[in-house]
């Protein structure tokens, strides 16, 4: 039974700090996403797309040790699963544009 619980615990160890960091830096993250999706404002984006973008943007901005391709790929998979038919392409485009600048100079998260 213990081995079955381990992956969930490992996932929580990664997800909880990511969610907390995303919430703490939401204003900055939302500004960056909004600048890259002018034709589709945050308040008009489907909730799954908006929140996948926020979490992935947090990783792109504040976790330089995580490969860019991994972040974008995982976000696109989640967006396709929970979003609309266009979600995968939309999330991929916004995150690719963000990665082009975010990875040049990562910033430190607020605590």
Q: Mind listing the pLDDT tens digit for each residue in 81-106?
A: 999 999 999 999 999 999 998 877 65
Eight-state DSSP code of residue 105: S
What is the average per-residue pLDDT within 58-85?
94
Q: Give the range of the structural domain holding residue 66, as residue numbers without chain letter.
A: 2-102
The pLDDT of 30-56, averaged and rounded, is 93
Q: How far is CA 95 from CA 1, 9, 72, 91, in A?
A: 38, 28, 6, 6
- Between these two residues, 38 and 77, which has the higher pLDDT value? 77
Tally of domains in the chain: 1
Q: Is pLDDT at 18 greater than 60 in this prediction? A: yes
Six-digit token pair at 85? 């038919």
How much is the pLDDT for 15? 87
Residue 109 has pLDDT above 60, yes or no: no
**Which three-class secondary structure string do you get for 29-82?**
HHHHHHHHCCCCCHHHCCHHHHHHHHHHHHHHHHCCCCCHHHHHHHHHHHHHHH
CATH number of the domain where residue 16 is located: 1.10.940.10
Q: Is residue 107 part of a domain?
A: no
Residue 111 lies in a domain: no
């Amino acid at each position: 039974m213990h081995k079955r619980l381990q992956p969930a615990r490992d996932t929580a160890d990664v997800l909880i700090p990511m969610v907390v960091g995303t919430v703490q830096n939401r204003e900055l993250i939302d500004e960056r996403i909004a600048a890259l999706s002018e034709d589709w404002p945050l308040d008009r984006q489907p909730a799954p797309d908006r929140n996948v973008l926020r979490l992935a943007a947090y990783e792109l901005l504040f976790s330089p040790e995580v490969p860019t391709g991994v972040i974008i790929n995982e976000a696109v998979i989640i967006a396709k699963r929970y979003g609309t038919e266009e979600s995968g392409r939309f999330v991929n485009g916004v995150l690719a544009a963000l990665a082009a600048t975010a990875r040049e100079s990562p910033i430190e998260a607020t605590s």
